[in-house]
Amino acid sequence: MRKYTNKFLRRADPPDSGIVANVNTQLASLPPHLLALSAFIIGSASALTARYAYVRYFRRTPNSDWVTPDLLAKRRWVKGYVTSVGDADNFRIYHTPGFGWRWPLKFRRIPAAAKDLKDRTIHIRLAGVDAPEGAHFGRPAQQFSQESLAWLKAHVEGKFVYCQLLRKDQYTRIVAFVHMKPWLLPGFLAPFTGRNVSLDMLRAGWVEVYEQSGAEYGKWGKDEFLRLQAEAQVAQLGIWKYGIGGESAADYKKRYASGSEIVDTRSGGNRASSSTSATSTTTRRQATKTGIMDRFARWVRRW
């Protein structure tokens, strides 16, 4: 009976009990200070890994002041929820790193009230494009500024976007390439397959290529931006409805900054008094289809 019981108990032992016993024996033979050092190293490595994961994937960047030169140098991508659209080429996002912001795993909340969003959003400026200026500080709005603003609102406001942070401009806004989440694909693919908002606005004709100092064109290059603009001009889309004449957004800002007369670069650099609005409907209608085709022909020859 005893032999049968011992045999039964031996069979009941787990198959890896010998391995565990061997490991325990080896650990017991190690010096205590070596065990303590090993535990310290493993604990430190785990803590550093956890901190890196938190900082990289879960810690919120509250506002533009928290966007460091290191993040810009690495051209880091961030995901955010568009809380408001101020002008036709800039808006604010609430940084939403990690997960938990959307169903079915929603356990983190995005503030809705303006007072709760104060100093808690990143001001984003679309890279590579310039939109018609709205009415600010007593200045009149440029033509099509409201239509351009409406286009951007319809496409990004109240949605999650993915922004590649490039640099800070003179207004501390973060110049960025903005991509939309690809249809039926996970969001992390947005930097590779998502639609670029700057390029989409150029195709629709609601912005022009930004060609001032510090312009960013990314992997597409300036030529691609100009090509899309030329196509919109030929098709008379958006701000090009009445032709290519009129004051550019850059010239509009320069005029009000200096108080000097208008330099209408779109119509050959002719000067006009500051009392004459180069953005009026009449001025745009004076730009003929012949001028459009001439510009398109120059673009074709360049290519």
Res 38: pLDDT? 74
pLDDT range class, residue 45, cuts 50, 70, 90: confident
Top CATH class, 64-217: mainly beta
Alpha-carbon gap, residue 140 to 245, rounded angstroms = 18
Res 7: pLDDT? 52
Strands of the chain, DSSP E: 77-87, 90-95, 122-126, 129-130, 160-168, 174-180, 208-209, 262-264, 270-272
pTM confidence score:
0.72
Average pLDDT over residues 5-30: 64
Alpha-carbon gap, residue 180 to 184, rounded angstroms = 12
Residues annotated as catalytic are 125, 133, 173
Neighbours of 220 (CB within 10 A): 15
Point out which residues pair with 160 in neighbouring strands: 81
8, pLDDT greater than 60: no
Taking Cα atoms as reference points, which of 230, 228, 231, 234 lies closest to residue 290?
A: 234
Res 281: pLDDT? 41
pLDDT-wise least confident of 51-55, 58-62, 132-136, 171-175: 51-55
pLDDT range class, residue 2, cuts 50, 70, 90: low
Output DSSP code: residue 126.
E
pLDDT in tens, 255-272: 888 775 544 444 444 433
pLDDT in tens, 124-161: 999 999 999 999 888 999 999 999 999 999 999 999 99
Alpha-carbon gap, residue 153 to 113, rounded angstroms = 18
Res 258: pLDDT? 78
pLDDT-wise least confident of 28-42, 123-137, 178-192, 240-254: 28-42
Q: What percent of the chain has pLDDT over 70?
A: 75
